[in-house]
Chains A and B, each alone.
Chain A
Amino acid sequence: MKPYSQPVSLVTAVVPQHRAVSIIDQLVDEGNLIILQTDARGTLVHQHWFKRLLPTMSPEFEYLQFAVRKEQAKALLVKIYELAELHRPGTGAVYVVECDQYVSGNNSFLCEQDLPFNIPSEPPSGYKENIYALYSLIQSGHTETAIRAAVQAGSHGPIVFLSEGRGTRDKVPWLKITKKPYEEVIVTLVNKVDRLAVKEALVNAGRIKTPGGGILYDIPVSQACVNLPATVAAGSQLASTHHMVAAIDELMGHTDWRDCTSFSGELSGVHRQQAIEHTNRCLLALVLPRKNVYEAVDLIIEAGAPGANISFFKQFAGRADRDESGFIKHHEMAMIRLILPVEKREALTQVWLDYIEQHNLESSSIFSHRLSDTVRYSG
């Protein structure tokens, strides 16, 4: 395990499920990439009240993560844009976040070589650089309200994936049974102009400022292509309301013109003074084989991490996954995310490094992002 000498970018792609298999196959075959994959769902906001009476399902997405050298990120982004046909409405998103530290084993999911993809001279339509990714962990039961408020405040359709939380109740063994089997993590991509409004909406509608409410953090995205659905289009209309709203946003350059009354009641919420907004926080993540994950979490909580959340991934590595009888067997990976004050990062990274050394987990990697903002309840 050693810090990687060059800057590393984390590329996240959100692609529709029915296209995921072919996208993964092509990227693994052509680019020799290693991909972490988990399931996610998109957002469905009903345009008419009567649509709620019909059975509907939120769109299903796959959430893919890649680690590449910083200068390779754009080539990968454009390649994913083409493969996923991200010019079509509601097909998904791809965005790049810069890591400010990356420590990796010999066998981690970082792709060190050059990618065989060309960067077109012109960026694809919809390419943006002023985007933020808001990650919010909200009490289950408030997720839907929060998502609706976020869309109305101007975010792109939020994506939800599952994670397991670790905190107080893990300290008493028998209390573990009361744990929710999973929590929902909402990922919202917002344009810079909408960032504050969306954050306000998420914090209030998601009740993040109430005790045990959750946490919201916000990572600057260096480049992105976003085309996430927010509404069901009526078959009779040429453009969905979402398209029209997006077009007016584009023309106006801001989203202040939108009607925000539907969640203004929430905005005057209580407990406001009890929230802490931190700016000196960072996200520290460890990717490691799934079977080791609980040991690593217990270790880091003992070492003083305030809490952790765990997501499970399948790792796709192409030929390397095939066993001698020809069956593809994936490696199961897990990612532990911690939100920390920057000054704690060194010490906790060292705890994990020791653990990885000790168990010889060459497929692990540790990386961190600087967060631009964190909101949580302070009790």
Chain B
Amino acid sequence: MSSTPSFSTSLTILWPYVRENFLDQVKSIWFIVAYLALFQLFILQLPLVYVGSIIAGIAIVAFGLMFFMEGLRLGLMPLGETIGAILPRNAALWAVLAFAFLLGIGATFAEPAIAVLRSAGAGVQPEAAPLLYSMLNDFASQLVLVVGVGVGCAVMLGILRFYYQWSLKWLILPGVSLLLILTLIAQNNPVLQPVLGLAWDCGAVTTGPVTVPLVLALGIGVCRVMGDGDTSNAGFGIVTLASLFPILAVLLLSFGHYTAKDYYGAENYKGEVRQVQQISNDAQVNEDLISYEPISEQEYQEFLTTGVIPEDYRLRFEAGDHELIDGRISVDQSAMVIEKPVVFERQFFASQRWDSSVSPGQAFAESAITAVRAIVPLCLFLWFSLWLVLRLAGEKLRVSSELGIGILFSVLGMALFVLGITLGLTPLGSQLGGNIPITFTDLIPWGMDRGASALFNSETLGKLVAIIFGFFLGYGATLAEPALNALGATVEKITVGAFRKALLMQSVAIGVGLGIAVGVLKIAYNIPLAWLLIPPYLLLLVLTWISSEEFVNFGWDSAGVTTGPITVPLVLAMGLGIGGAVPGVTDGFGLLALASVGPIITVLLVGLIVSRTSKIQENEVSL
């Protein structure tokens, strides 16, 4: 036993480890990938475009996730936990709080959510939603800053909570009530109302795959030193606060600009009123796919002689002036075009296998930069804080060799994983997102040149299919989300396996699915967000009130982690796709906020069922 194992022994130890970790990732992503591909092929009956790129991308995602999850376990989380356990012992409270504040701001800048929000608001017209437009463009840097300050305050308050043993309930109940009141006020103001979606989404997107595990580990570390014997929920709650505070911060910022009247078009507006370019979400047309159904010379001659258009031919007007006069459309100076209907050939894979506009090398360079920027500065900051605290306490910094490997793994993993998303998941998701409205309306399928007609004759039925699609999309994407996997593993470890990871993941995934389904409903029928947010949050206030502290912690924290790098692009693509097909909808906001409220409800409900089953046991009094 005392001799060093040989290389072959090392390999026999290493191989099962690699296999197991890789299979774990395959298990978490297969559902969403298979679901999206099969939906496109069999329900929408459209061919898959860029199939080569998608397959390569998905494989890279699996590898990336494998490294990233191991990196979290070996590097980022131990680093966070160590610093959490060392700080309270060696530093004064104010120093710990200052550290927490800086960490919160740093984490927000490291994982910039603003890009996501920009894409959600790409179609916002300054005339229709001036304040929202200004927030996204003129005040974008202020927006990032207030979100950062919000997260900073949240981490600070979260840590302070561990010092004073405050119940998370007593922070959530007043906090959410305040948010609901502000939301109601904004809802009744035409200028503020469009900002609501942005504000609530900000809360959802700020907590990313690096921030969540790091902050969670930090909290666990602090609770190793502070706190009473009740450790079942030790370390949780910071993520919740980090989701609520940015909402408050963004709402307050918008209220501020509203009163200052310096948004687009208002009297004190300083920016120049410019022409916004219309951003369309139609993908580029692939030349390869163009396959006309031309009207032949013979058919043309036939038409000339008879003057009769075959029944199934289509007549449309190109250009010209259209006017509605006395209930009739009058067309003036327009070219009339007669077309033969398109006969669809069933085809599984479009001939376009690779997207020529994406170069893998450049994509990798970009994803590597994203990964380095998200992880390295934060780790340096943590490292420096740790070194400083130990230096002041006169201790030496002892670091295990795994920590370095772990951080390396997480950078490599994240780079691969972001690359895989760009190559594989984004084209797959945008195809589906763009194509899903075909269930209730005519459109040109993504990446194709010609229109297809609605699949279902009844619009309601079609929208229902879209809503069901949204449910499973949310469900599948959530199961693949790395931050949720990390949270699940942490919950399982904290409760010594009593609360299974699978139970948490399934509850959260179903919750996200429901949230997304409601979100699709919102967009498909253009329902104001407030009417969909306020009732669930009122229900949540009641559920939170009656639930046990433990489930309040798990449930609310899981809401913060659901919207990560896998869910967001898929959900936004779908939201924008459907939004584009419904008149009057200009932005994809609100979907993410709804995706966050769903899991809290399901986890708390599961908690109530669980505590009911165990209560039967408790109430039995021995004779």
Residues of A within 8 A of B (CB): 17-18, 20-21, 23-24, 37, 39-42, 51, 54-60, 62, 87-90, 143, 160-162, 167-169, 171-178, 181-182, 184, 229, 232-235, 240, 291, 294, 304, 306-307, 314, 316, 325, 327-330, 332
Contacts and interface: CB of A to CB of B under 8 A. Distances in A.
Contact of B493 (A58, A162, A169): A162
Given A173-B401, A175-B10, A332 B622 contact: no
B622 A88 contact: yes
A171 B4 contact: yes
A89 B494 CA distance: 25
Given A18-B230, A176-B401, A178-B17, A233 B497 contact: no
B5 to A, nearest CB: 6
Q: Is the interface of A mostly helix, strand, loop or mixed?
A: mixed
Given A175-B10, A232-B616, A233-B617, A21 B229 contact: yes
Given A54-B613, A175-B14, A184-B496, 13 more contacts: A37-B229, A41-B495, A54-B609, A56-B613, A58-B498, A59-B614, A89-B620, A171-B5, A234-B616, A314-B229, A314-B231, A325-B92, A330-B226
Contacts of B10: 172, 175
B574 to A, nearest CB: 29
Nearest to A294: B400
A59 B498 contact: yes
Contact of B73 (A181, A304, A307): A181
A167 B230 CA distance: 32
B616 A332 contact: no
B3 to A, nearest CB: 8
Nearest to B502: A55
Contacts of A167: 1
Contacts of A332: 85, 224-225
A325 B230 contact: no
A40 B74 CA distance: 23
Interface string B309-348: 0000000000000000000000000000000000000000
Interface string B40-81: 000000000000000000000000000000100110000000
Contact of A178 (B14, B85, B88): B14
B13 A57 contact: no
A41 B498 contact: yes
B461 interface: no
A55 B5 contact: no
Looking at A143, A171, A304, the one whose CB has the most chain B CB atoms below 10 A away is A171
Contact of A329 (B73, B88, B610, B614): B88
Nearest to B71: A177
A160 B497 contact: yes
Interface in B352-410: 398, 400-402, 405-406
B496 A21 contact: no
Given A37-B229, A41-B497, A177 B405 contact: yes
A143 B497 CA distance: 11
A235 B616 contact: yes
B617 A60 contact: no
Nearest to B507: A55
Interface in B395-440: 398, 400-402, 405-406
B19 to A, nearest CB: 11
B621 interface: yes
A328 B9 CA distance: 47
Nearest to B7: A172
25 contacts: A17-B232, A20-B229, A51-B613, A55-B503, A57-B495, A57-B614, A60-B498, A62-B229, A87-B622, A88-B622, A89-B617, A89-B620, A168-B1, A175-B10, A175-B13, A177-B74, A181-B73, A233-B616, A233-B617, A306-B1, A327-B163, A329-B89, A330-B225, A330-B226, A332-B85
A304 B3 CA distance: 11
A56 B621 CA distance: 21
Chain B CB count within 10 A is highest, among A160, A161, A330, for A330
B228 interface: yes
Contact of A304 (B2, B227, B406, B620): B2
Contacts of B499: 57
Contact of A181 (B163, B405, B493): B493
B239 to A, nearest CB: 21
Q: Which 4 A-B pairs have the closest CB atoms?
A: A178-B17, A41-B498, A58-B498, A41-B496
Interface string B76-120: 000000000100110011000000000000000000000000000
Contacts of A314: 224, 229, 231
Interface of B: 1-2, 4-5, 9-10, 13-14, 17, 70, 73-74, 85, 88-89, 92-93, 163, 224-232, 398, 400-402, 405-406, 493-500, 503, 507, 606, 609-610, 613-614, 616-618, 620-622
Nearest to B224: A332
A343 to B, nearest CB: 17
B608 to A, nearest CB: 10
Nearest to A327: B163
Contacts of A57: 495, 498-500, 503, 610, 614
Contacts of A59: 498, 614, 617
A177 B566 CA distance: 26
Nearest to A16: B618
Contacts of B613: 51, 54, 56, 232
Contacts of A329: 88-89, 225-226
A55 B622 CA distance: 26
A72 B503 CA distance: 44
Contact of B402 (A162, A172, A176): A176
A174 B610 contact: no
Contacts of A160: 496-497
A39 to B, nearest CB: 5
Contacts of A143: 497
A172 B226 contact: no
* Residue from A176, A177, A294, A306 whose CB has the most chain B CB atoms within 10 Å: A177
A263 to B, nearest CB: 21
Nearest to B2: A304
B228 A21 contact: yes
A240 B614 contact: no
A165 B214 CA distance: 25
A17 B402 contact: no
Contacts of A54: 609, 613
A90 B5 CA distance: 46
A232 B617 contact: yes
B13 A178 contact: yes
A181 B496 CA distance: 12
B616 to A, nearest CB: 5
A178 B93 CA distance: 37
B616 A177 contact: no
A229 B622 CA distance: 13
A204 to B, nearest CB: 22
Most buried by A among B231, B495, B622: B622
Given A24-B229, A172-B4, A181-B73, A161 B620 contact: no
Nearest to B163: A327
A57 B13 CA distance: 33
A174 B405 contact: yes
Contacts of A40: 496
B496 A161 contact: yes
A166 B74 CA distance: 16
Contact of B617 (A39, A177, A229): A229
B303 to A, nearest CB: 65
Contact of A39 (B5, B13, B89, B496): B496
Contacts of A168: 1, 5, 9, 13
A131 B401 CA distance: 43
A226 to B, nearest CB: 13
A309 to B, nearest CB: 15
A324 B38 CA distance: 64
B405 A60 contact: no
A62 B260 CA distance: 56
A161 to B, nearest CB: 6
Nearest to A229: B617
A330 B616 CA distance: 35
